[in-house]
Amino acid sequence: MATTTRRSIEHSTRVEGVGLHTGSPCAVTFQPAPAGTGIVFRRTDEASRPEIPASLHAVSSVERRTALGEPPVTIHTVEHLLAAVAALAIDDLVVELDGPEPPIGDGSFLPYLEALTAADPVETDGEASVLRIAAPFTVTEGDASYVIAPAKGLTLTVTVEWPHPLIGSQAGTFEIDADTFRA
């Protein structure tokens, strides 16, 4: 692991809409957080205002979405929101939700990326961990496989195959030029 300066946002920002899977209206408010906080979700619609870390240990479901926490306090479909957080290399952030699922917006991570960019990402105290891949490896689960290998940037070659005639087999390659990616 290499290190680099941690990042948060300078001021709060908000995204509102309807969740994809729950259909529930929800507002997400991104709040700056002190160094070392990590990414933490806070359910403000619950009396106890429970907090759920954005960590592998908090994942409770990955069927057609990623859900964090355990019922009755679960946060559904966090992928697009967390993709924007990762794209801006934000390490410390409190994500307040007044419902069970962030809004789907236009179906991409763009509404979150725009909101977080407007909140002015800033460097904070402390060092963030940066993951560097030293040797190639493969992860397989069921009929899905992922090959991870060292590179100067991120290249994703993705193929999906569904028996539905509107989806069928699709493939694409996406590249992001960067030297490191944050863990």
**Contacts for 50-58: CB closer than 8 Å, 24+ residues apart:** 54/78, 54/82, 54/85, 54/95
Q: Which residues of the chain have pLDDT under 50?
A: 1, 179-181, 183
At 178 the pLDDT is: 55
d(CA 153, CA 176): 6
Query: Tokens standing for 88?
Result: 């801006």
At 71 the pLDDT is: 86
At 180 the pLDDT is: 44
At 146 the pLDDT is: 83
d(CA 28, CA 76): 13
Contacts of 95 (CB under 8 A, 6+ apart): 28, 29, 30, 31, 39, 40, 41, 42, 54, 81, 102
At 177 the pLDDT is: 59
| Count of CB atoms situated within 10 Å of the CB of 122 | 14
DSSP string, 91-105: --EEEEESSSS---T
Contacts of 133 (CB under 8 A, 6+ apart): 148, 149, 150, 151
